[in-house]
Structure 1
Amino acid sequence: MTAPTVHTGPSDYAESAHAWACRLIETDLGGRRITTEPRHWLDALARRRRHKAAFITAVLNRSLVSGLVEACRVVEAVYPYLDADGLCTEAAVTAAWHIIAPDADTWPEQLQDERRCFTGECLTHAITEANTAEA
């Protein structure tokens, strides 16, 4: 027969369900915690928002765009095309290029290639800057 858990005081519900379960296991079974509390889905959302804000700031600092609204448009266009590690891809450069230079098809091909390459380099640096700022 097992003894019931002895409560030392009234619960104030300040601890999470995970912490409460761990405390009960530690008390009843003499166990110990081997993992940390699982992350909440809002943590990932908050991290993504902080990263996007840092990315917008980096795009503005890199002078790829003329203002904040255009920087937001570039980041929103680029974000879905980043790879799994959050790095720039060719599709991301294309998405940014369509916003930064919508009339680029009228430019000479050499100028288009140079500017597109420059945009890719600036995006890569802006992503690195955003990753550093968010971390």
Structure 2
Amino acid sequence: MTTSTGHPTPSDDAESVFERAYRLIETELGGRRLPPEPRTWLDDLARTRRYKTALITAVWNTCFPSGVVEACRVVEAVYPYLDPDGLCTDAALTAAWNVLEPDAHTWPEQLQDERRRFTSKCLDRALAEANTAVTDHA
């Protein structure tokens, strides 16, 4: 019969049950944790698809495109210009603006400025909505 003695450690309320179980396994059985499984290109593809789908839905709901096809075109135009945190850049706004308002160059400058600010707010709201949707379902 094998016995083991455990030395009580002060309880750490921040430690989860999962962490405690791992610590016990490491201590009692001499085990070690397995590293997390490496990410594959398929994981990245699935995450990108999930994000683009959420962004298309958000653009459709907030940016007032003429249809779902135009919402898809906006997302495809904007996506490469997003910053690493998924936030809007000036290049992304310009890409969205070119899809949503293709004839804006014929408008008076004041109207262009107003509509561009409106598009910027709509795009920021759509990106925030998509980022939240992806984070909630991750």
Place the TM-score, normalised by the shorter chain, in its bin.
0.7 to 0.9
Partner in structure 2 of residue 86 of structure 1: 86
Report 1:107-118 matches (<5 A): 107-118=107-118
CA contact (8 A) 2:63 2:126 kept: no
Equivalences, count: 107
Partner of 2:6: none
* Residue in structure 1 matched with residue 133 of structure 2 by the alignment: 133
Runs of 4+ in structure 1 over 6 Å off: none
State the alpha-carbon separation in 2 of the partners of residues 55 and 49 from structure 1. 10
Provide the secondary structure at the position in 1 that maps to 2:35: coil
Q: CA deviation at 1:31?
A: 5.0
How far apart, in 2, do the equivalents of 1:111 and 1:64 lie?
17
Query: Structure 1 residue 35: deviation in Å?
Result: 2.3
Indicate conservation of the 8 Å contact 1:78/1:92, yes or no: yes
**Residue of structure 1 equivalent to 2:21:** none
Q: Which amino acid aligns with 2:84?
A: A
Distance across 2 between alignment mates of 1:63 and 1:51: 17
8 Å contact 2:63–2:119 — kept in the other structure? no
Q: CA RMSD in A?
A: 1.5
Identity value in percent: 70
Tell me the CA shift for residue 88 of structure 1.
Answer: 0.3
Tell me, which stretches of 5 or more residues in structure 1 are unaligned?
A: 1-29
Are residues 120 and 134 of structure 1, via their aligned partners in 2, closer, same or farther at CA, if it must alter by over 3 Å?
A: same
Please state how far the C-alpha of 1:39 moved relative to its aligned partner. 1.7
Measure the CA separation in 1 of the matches of 2:123 and 2:63: 11
Aligned to 1:69: 69
Q: Are 2:48 and 1:45 equivalent residues in the alignment?
A: no
Q: Which runs of 5+ in 2 are unaligned?
A: 1-29
Q: Deviations over 1:63-92 (max 9, x none)?
A: 430100000000000000001111000000
Correspondence for 2:8? none
User: C-alpha distance in 1, partners of 2:114/2:105?
Assistant: 13
| TM-score normalised by L of structure 1 | 0.75
The corresponding residue for 2:27 is none
**Is 1:64–1:119's contact at 8 Å kept on the other side of the alignment?**
no
